[in-house]
Structures are given as C-alpha cells and as structure tokens.
C-alpha cells in the first residue's frame, strides 16, 4: 500500500505505482510516473515529464526533472527517463533534456548520485555509476556503465566517459575519458593507467587485467602514437573483448582522449 503524507503536493496528472512513499512537503509535478517501491523523502521534488522505474529513492531537497539550464530552453516539452534502484542524495539535481539535444535525459539503473552532484540536460548515463559529492555534468555528456566521477569534478559538454573509468576528485574533464582508466589531476589532468583496484573489485580476472595493462602500456608508455598503438593492440591483443571495446572507444572519440 502506498503512503502519501497529507502535507505532500501531488499533481492529479501523475501515475504512481504500488508501495510508493511520499513524505511531507515533497512535490510531484505533472506527467510524472513513479514505479513500484519508489520513495520520495520530505522536501524531495520530481518535475515532469519524468518516468522513474522501480525502487528509486529521492532524498530531501533533491530535484529530479528540473528545467534544463540552457539559454535556448523556452518551455518545450522535454523529459527525463530513469531506470530502477537509483539513489538521489540531498541537494543533487537532474535536469530534463532540450529539443536540440534529443529531448530526454536518461539514467539507467543502480546509480548513486551523491549530494550536490548535477546531471545536466541531455546527458545519457548508463548503470552502476557513481557521482561523488559535487560532481557536475555540463550537459550532453555520455557516461558508460560502472564509471565513477569524483568529488567536485566538472565534465565539459559532449564528453564521453568510458565504462569502469575512475575520475579522481577535483579533476577537470575536457576530453573523452578512456574506459578502464584512472584519471587524476593533482597538477594537470592525465591518465595514470588502468583502474586496477576498481576492476579487481568488480571481478576482473588476472588475465583480463593483464590484457588491459598491455594495451595501456602501448598507449601511454611507448614511443608509439595513438594510431600505431591501436595497430599494435590489434596485432597482439585481438582475443580480448575489453581491449576491443577500448579500441572502438578511441576510434569513435570526437573530443580527443585524455592520455
């Protein structure tokens, strides 16, 4: 049975599943769909059009589905689509899309959006990602599965972050981030090789890790340019699906890659 606090504000133009809990002073706007088991704590806000799957939790003062922060936005009907089992912590914000960006901001499932993090308009987020406190996506950013964006790290528009990438705190991202990589900026933004600890925690075998280490050695610690490094990977590491994804990512990068 769903529970709605009498001091919550719920538009009649909503669709709410079963076992949903909405706290005091929470606001649910027009054209919002809340899947089964969703929880909106007190003072949480969800604007529509927005569709949230099952078991999402929105903590106090988080705003999901706010207007895009784009000067060309003039009230067009744009949306946000969210999967299952996501956590939106206090004061984080997720903006809807823009017409020029496709109209929809999307998040997959099992993502953790920590306090004060921001997901900009038209961003496309995979699943199992983590946005640490204050992490900021400027808009039109793609983040693949299992990536982590560190505290107070801004990501420039149209950049892509590969799966299993780890971005350290206070790192400014202006180019695409390699999958499986560890990107940190104590002085300048650069790649420090494979995100070994994160991959081990995710169950990568020593064989998979060895292939990635060799691939990154070609990219970062050889006298080869990027094209030559890719050719060397094809010659010697063709049996690794991880390396194949890395090659495809680099070849499709539109903003250059952080090396």
Spatial separation of the C-alpha atoms in residues 106 and 108, rounded to whole Å: 7
218-219-221-224 Cα dihedral, nearest 10 degrees: 70
CB 115 within 8 A of CB 97: no
Which run of H or of E encompasses 206?
helix 206-220
The one catalytic residue among 41, 70, 84, 122: 122
Q: Say whether 242 is catalytic.
A: no
Q: Quick check: helix, strand or coil at residue 40?
A: strand
Q: Is 139 marked active-site? A: yes
89 and 72 in contact (C-beta within 8 Å)?
A: no
Q: What tokens appear for 255 in the block?
A: 């903003």
The single residue of 47, 110, 118, 121 carrying the catalytic annotation is 121
143 touches 123 (CB < 8 A):
yes
Residue 45 backbone zone (phi > 0: left; psi -120 to 50: alpha; other: beta) = beta
Q: Which among 66, 101, 134, 139 is annotated as catalytic?
A: 139
Task: For residue 94, report the phi and psi dihedrals to the nearest 5 degrees.
Answer: -130, 115
Active site residue 35: no
Q: Reading across the β-sheet that carries 148-149, which strands appear in turn?
A: 3-4, 21-22, 39-40, 57-58, 87-88, 112-113, 130-131, 148-149, 166-167, 181-184, 190-194
Angle of CA points 156, 67, 70, to nearest 5°: 45
Q: Annotated catalytic sites, by residue?
A: 121-122, 139
């Amino acid at each position: 049975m769903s529970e709605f606090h009498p001091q919550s504000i719920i538009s009649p133009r909503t669709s709410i599943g079963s076992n949903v809990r909405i706290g005091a002073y929470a606001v649910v706007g027009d054209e919002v769909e809340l899947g089964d088991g969703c929880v909106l704590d007190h003072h949480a806000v969800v604007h529509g059009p927005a569709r949230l799957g099952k078991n999402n939790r929105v903590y106090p003062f988080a705003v999901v589905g706010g207007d895009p922060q784009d000067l060309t936005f003039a009230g067009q009907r744009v949306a946000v689509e969210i999967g299952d089992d996501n956590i939106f912590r206090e004061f984080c914000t997720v903006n809807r899309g823009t017409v020029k960006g496709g109209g929809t901001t999307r998040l997959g499932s099992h993502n953790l959006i920590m306090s004060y993090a921001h997901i900009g308009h038209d961003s496309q987020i995979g699943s199992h990602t983590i946005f640490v406190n204050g992490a900021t996506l400027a808009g039109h950013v793609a983040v693949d599965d299992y990536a982590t964006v560190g505290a107070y790290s801004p990501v420039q528009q149209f950049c892509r972050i590969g799966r299993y990438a780890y971005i350290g705190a206070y790192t400014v991202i202006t180019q695409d981030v390699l999958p499986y990589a560890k990107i940190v900026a104590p002085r300048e933004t650069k790649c420090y090789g494979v995100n070994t600890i994160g991959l081990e925690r995710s169950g990568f075998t020593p064989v998979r890790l060895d292939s990635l280490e060799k691939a990154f050695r070609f990219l970062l610690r050889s006298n080869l340019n990027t094209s030559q490094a890719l050719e060397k990977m094809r010659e010697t590491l063709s049996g690794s699906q991880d390396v194949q994804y890395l090659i495809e990512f680099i070849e499709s990068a539109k903003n250059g890659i952080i090396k």
